[in-house]
Amino acid sequence: MNPVRLCLVRHGETAWNAERRIQGQLDVPLSPRGEAQARATAERLAGEGAAAVYASDLSRARDTAAHAARRLGLAVRTRAGLRERHFGLLQSLTFAEFARRDPAAHARYRAREEGFALPGGGESLRQFAGRVHDCLDAIVAAHPGELVLVFTHGGVLDILQRRASGLPLYRPRDFDIPNCGLNWLQVVGGRWSLRRWAECDHLAAALDELPG
């Protein structure tokens, strides 16, 4: 069996990341710091021999990927399945505003109830995980024996780290998800494994503002 290697990258920092504001599927651009992180990430990945570059179609991930794709002479293949979780009516709020506005929903969100759909058309953890798994399974199937770069969002990385490590969706997060950190996974015969996680040596600074 030909192993597929994945390098998963959270998008560069945005102004809303710095404000701890919930972006979800709203299209928030990279900040100047995020652009600098994207350039540094492209340089770091230039010699890895990637065969393909995939990204969420939201601009903060797509634009982060574009720096690496240009450096490698590859196209960015966008996939809506790589988008962040849909947070419904909570998108654009800070996490503190979310807690004040709807404490019951906030408590269920923090408890990581797998079947709880966020109010206003948001996704449940279970729905979100199913979407992410379907998208990554298709990418893996298309690239046997290759290294693939995937530029996406913090929530997506949370789902995939748990898939590789076996940590259940309902358990609190015990790993970092920094902006533009490099996260290396391998898939062999349908079995996912972690290689390295949250590498940030190429960055001057990286934020992880996501709740556990």
Structure tokens at 54: 């995939």
* Interior angle at CA 57, CA 54 and CA 62, nearest 5: 65
List 13, 84, 123, 143, catalytic entry: 84
List 11, 86, 106, 143, catalytic entry: 11
Rounded CA-CA distance 22/188 in Å is 35
Residue type, 71: R
Q: Is 133 a catalytic residue?
A: no
Rounded CA-CA distance 14/21 in Å is 10
In this structure, the strands spanning 191-199 and 182-188 are antiparallel
Q: Is 199 a catalytic residue?
A: no
Residues belonging to the active site? 11, 84
